Amino acid sequence: MINGELAQAFNRIADLMEIRGTDGFRVNSYRRVARFLKSHPEDIAVAAAEKRLTKLPGIGKGIAAKIEQYVESGRIDALDELEASLPPGLPDLLRIQSLGPKKIALVHDQLGVGGLDDLKRVIESGELAELAGFGAVTAKKLAEGIAFVETSGERTPLGIALPIAEAMADAVRAIAGVGRVDIAGSLRRGDETIGDIDLLCESDSGERIVGVFTEQDGVSRVLASGKTKGAITVASERGRELQIDLRVVRTESYGAALQYFSGSKAHNVRLREIAVRNKLRLNEYGLYEGERRVAGETEESIYAALGLPFVPPEIREDRGEFDLDETPSLVSVGDIRGDLHLHTTASDGRCTIDEMAEEAKRLGYEYIAVTDHSRSSAIANGLSDERMLEHLETVRSADARIEGMKVFTGCECDILADGSLDYSDEILAACDVVVASIHARHTRGRTSPTERLLRAIAHPSVHIIGHATGRLIQRRPAMDIDMAAIVGAASEHGTALEVNASWQRLDLKDLDVRRAVEAGVMLAINTDSHHVDGYGQIRLGVMTARRGWARPGNILNTRHLRDVESWLRRAEQ
Q: What is the pLDDT of residues 528-548, one digit of tens each?
A: 999 999 999 999 999 999 999
Element (H, E) at 37: helix 24-39
Using the 3D structure, point to which of 299, 323, 347 is the last residue of a domain. Answer: 323
pLDDT at 22: 87
Q: How many CB atoms lie within 10 A of CB 244?
A: 24
Please give the Cα distance from 351 to 355 (Å, whole number). Answer: 6
Q: What are phi and psi of 48, to 5 degrees?
A: -65, -45
Read off the DSSP letter of residue 476: B
Q: Considering the domain boundaries, does residue 91 fall inside one? A: no
The CATH number linked to 10 is 1.10.150.110
Q: Considering the domain boundaries, does residue 94 fall inside one? A: no
227 and 308 in a common domain: yes
Nearest to 310 by CA among 292, 318, 298: 298
304 and 210 in a common domain: yes
107 and 44 in a common domain: no
The CATH number linked to 256 is 3.30.460.10
pLDDT at 1: 57
Q: Give the helix, strand, coil percentages of the chain, each rounded to 5.
A: 50, 15, 35
The CATH number linked to 540 is 3.20.20.140
Using the 3D structure, point to which of 275, 297, 323 is the last residue of a domain. Answer: 323
Element (H, E) at 563: helix 561-571
305 and 216 in a common domain: yes
The pLDDT tens digits of the residues spanning 344-390 come to 999 999 999 999 999 999 999 999 999 999 999 888 889 999 999 99
* Domains held by the chain: number: 4
pLDDT at 147: 78
pLDDT at 572: 63
520 and 500 in a common domain: yes
Output the DSSP codes for 294-314.
EE-SSHHHHHHHTT-----GG
Q: Considering the domain boundaries, does residue 308 fall inside one? A: yes
Cis before 384? omega within 30? no
Full residue range of the structural domain in which residue 135 is found: 101-152
Angle formed by the axes of helices 3-20 and 77-85, nearest 10°: 30
Please give the Cα distance from 158 to 141 (Å, whole number). Answer: 27
Residues 6+ apart with CB under 8 A from 298: 254, 255
Using the 3D structure, point to which of 85, 112, 139 is the last residue of a domain. Answer: 85
Please give the Cα distance from 553 to 126 (Å, whole number). Answer: 54
Q: What are phi and psi of 332, to 5 degrees?
A: -130, 165
Please give the Cα distance from 144 to 164 (Å, whole number). Answer: 32
147 and 223 in a common domain: no
pLDDT at 442: 67
Q: How many CB atoms lie within 10 A of CB 415?
A: 28
Mean pLDDT of 501-507: 96
pLDDT at 145: 81
Buried b (16+ CB within 10 A) or exposed e, 509-529: bbebbbbbbeeebbbbbbbbb
pLDDT over 80 (residue 285): yes
Angle formed by the axes of helices 3-20 and 101-111, nearest 10°: 30
pLDDT at 527: 98
The pLDDT tens digits of the residues spanning 389-447 come to 999 999 999 999 999 999 999 999 999 999 999 999 999 999 999 999 999 876 666 78
pLDDT at 374: 96
51 and 132 in a common domain: no
Q: Are 298 and 307 in contact (CB under 8 A)?
A: no
pLDDT over 90 (residue 96): no
pLDDT over 70 (residue 153): no
Q: Considering the domain boundaries, does residue 96 fall inside one? A: no
| Chain mean position to CA 471 | 10
260 and 115 in a common domain: no
Please give the Cα distance from 10 to 85 (Å, whole number). Answer: 17
pLDDT at 6: 87
- Percent of the chain at pLDDT > 90 equals 70
Please give the Cα distance from 311 to 319 (Å, whole number). Answer: 12
Q: Are 326 and 287 in contact (CB under 8 A)?
A: no
Which residues are 370's β-sheet partners? 342, 409
pLDDT over 60 (residue 11): yes
Mean pLDDT of 159-173: 96
Output the DSSP codes for 349-405.
-SS-HHHHHHHHHHTT-SEEEEEEEBTT-GGGTPBPHHHHHHHHHHHHHHHHHSTT-
Element (H, E) at 194: strand 193-194
Q: What are phi and psi of 247, to 5 degrees?
A: -115, 130
169 and 139 in a common domain: no
Q: Are 256 and 296 in contact (CB under 8 A)?
A: yes
pLDDT at 152: 55
Mean pLDDT of 154-181: 95
Please give the Cα distance from 388 to 350 (Å, whole number). Answer: 18
Q: Considering the domain boundaries, does residue 328 fall inside one? A: no
Q: Considering the domain boundaries, does residue 137 fall inside one? A: yes
357 and 311 in a common domain: no
The pLDDT tens digits of the residues spanning 15-59 come to 999 998 888 888 888 988 888 887 777 778 888 888 999 998 889
Q: Considering the domain boundaries, does residue 31 fall inside one? A: yes
Q: Are 436 and 465 in contact (CB under 8 A)?
A: yes
Q: Considering the domain boundaries, does residue 279 fall inside one? A: yes
pLDDT at 143: 87
pLDDT at 379: 82
534 and 476 in a common domain: yes
pLDDT at 74: 74
Q: Are 33 and 62 in contact (CB under 8 A)?
A: no
pLDDT at 443: 64
* pLDDT tier, 567 (very low <50, low <70, confident <90, very high otherwise): very high
Q: Are 462 and 502 in contact (CB under 8 A)?
A: no
Nearest to 489 by CA among 457, 523, 466, 449: 457
Q: How many CB atoms lie within 10 A of CB 302?
A: 24
Please give the Cα distance from 495 to 459 (Å, whole number). Answer: 9
Residues 6+ apart with CB under 8 A from 302: 255, 256, 259, 271, 282, 287, 295, 296
pLDDT at 151: 61
147 and 7 in a common domain: no
